[in-house]
Structure 1
Amino acid sequence: MPSTDTELIYLTVDMWHPDCWTLHVTQKVDAGLLGYEMTIREADIADRFRLYRVYGDSRDAVAELIDAVDDTDLTEAVIILSPTAAPDSRTFGSITQDILVEFDPAPGTRAAFTSRGFMHYGPSQHENGRERRTLLTISDRDRVYQALEDIEDAYDADITIERFTTSHTPSGMQDLPSDGLSPRQREAFQLARTRGYYDYPRNVTAQDLADEFGISRTTFLEHLRKAERELLTGIEFH
């Protein structure tokens, strides 16, 4: 029976859809993007320009992603806002650089969400050819599920709900829609969890994981330790 209860719903979705330049470039390059909404009086400018923070494990990775953004036929201009990529351990423990990108917004899905009653909370995150959006809406569950299905059908998209909270004070409201890890850090941590590195006794060695990852044991452990440090930040032990 359809739900008639209207409530504040907070959700994070992971999605893919065609003709999105952010997904094309992050599929090719081992770095990521955070997309920020801008408030500009001229509506056309606000639609065509967006601020992005490029992040990666090295300056080379950041530069490679910026070049990919500039080279794709789906963007029109890239403006580098800071003179050089800089470390930002507070956010990702990696290198970041801000850019302004001009592009045709028509293939994008932002309007598809807002026209269906969703509000974007915080920046969107783009990496590994996928996109994550954190959303707020005042609705009921059935309408939320139907709206997401409608967006999938309209944009030939693939949408997965990563997080769904119904609360007037949803947990995690102070967090960005990101766990704070660079792509390589997240991949290393997920591989370690999947293979039983954190089981007791361990089911796999760091060397085995490094070999599977295609890097040295020292580099793999560096990715893993940075991921562990980032994920443990802010957790209180009693």
Structure 2
Amino acid sequence: MTEPDGANGADSPDGADDAVYVSLDLWYPDCWEIEATERFDVGMLGYGIYTTGERVTTLFTLYADEQATIDAAVDHVAASPHVHEVSEIRPTYRHATAPVAGNAMRDLLVDHDGRTQITPELTSRGFVCAEPIDIRDGREYWSLVTNHDRDAVRTKLDAVSDAKDAVIDIRRITTSHWQSAASGLPTDRLTRRQLEVFRLARDSGYYDWPREATAGELAAELGISTSTLHEHLHKVEAKLLGQRPRG
């Protein structure tokens, strides 16, 4: 498990036992979701999870630039030995009033083998999902909350890593009081690239005061120019605030 410098975040000003927000990305073997995003240029958002013994049903949104890419990924998922059944939800009800420009989408209920997933290893150790699980480019991006202190968080994530042979990178550990407002933002209005840029900026402390990351640092990590980063963030902020971006 790796952790960037400065990932501790700010302590609670009143010394109270606030919940802790943990942002991380991870990889582990034999995960059909990760394999699908490695093989196809598609992303997946995992929402509600229903468990009945060893079988798990999860609501996913698949997103890509073209519908053909999603179709190929769905066929690949359905053929996985860890997947029992794939059911499509029509219409795409969560995006009926907030379409994502330039992106194809498809909502699925997937009945699959929960024993291959990392979710039970996290939830059994007191971690709760604060946002949908974002799976893209062969990695899973998690936003978690817990009442463990930071030392316990690291110890428990080490245990998860050992149990699943996982590579876990902690992007940020901080108190969660600021997160409640961010979690209500309409991020489903964002394109795939905008969502990636926004989450990196937020998780890196770009919106904190004082800022914990500069635009130049974010641009370097994304492999883009600073002006392009500012353009992405301008469009993101306009969409999240319900305004029409200029230009």
Aligned residues: 207
For 1:102-113, list aligned pairs within 5 A: 102-113=111-122
- In structure 2, what is the Cα distance between the partners aligned to 1:139 and 1:87? 35
Structure 1 residues 1-238: aligned runs within 5 Å: 6-38=17-49, 43-44=52-53, 47-82=55-90, 90=98, 92-93=100-101, 94-170=103-179, 172-175=182-185, 180-182=190-192, 194-196=223-225, 198=227, 229-230=235-236, 232-234=238-240
Q: What is the identity percentage for the equivalent residue pairs of Structure 1 and Structure 2?
A: 25
Query: 2: CA distance between counterparts of 1:138 and 1:127?
Result: 28
1:107 CA drift (Å): 1.5
Q: Report the alpha carbon displacement of residue 230 of structure 1 after superposing the two structures with TM.
A: 3.2
Contact 2:61 2:108 in 1 (8 A): yes
Write the letter of the residue equivalent to 1:82: R
The structural deviation recorded for 1:228 is: 5.7
> Displacement, 1:196?
3.0
Q: Which runs of 5+ in 1 are unaligned?
A: 200-223
Give the 3 Å change call, closer, same or farther, for CA 163–157 of structure 1 in structure 2: same
Instruction: Give 5+ residue unaligned stretches, structure 2.
Output: 1-14, 198-217
CA separation of 1:5 and 1:54: change in aligned 2, threshold 3 A: same
In 1: Cα distance, 2:222 partner to 2:47 partner: 31
Partners of 2:161 and 2:186 lie apart in 1 by 24
RMSD of the alignment, in Å?
3.8
Report the structure number with the largest CA radius of gyration.
Answer: 1
Q: Classify 1:152/1:193 alpha carbon distance in 2 versus 1 (closer, same or farther; 3 Å).
A: closer
Separation in 1, partners of 2:56, 2:160: 21
**TM, length-normalised to structure 2:** 0.69
Tell whether the 8 Å contact from 1:127 to 1:183 is kept in structure 2 after alignment. no
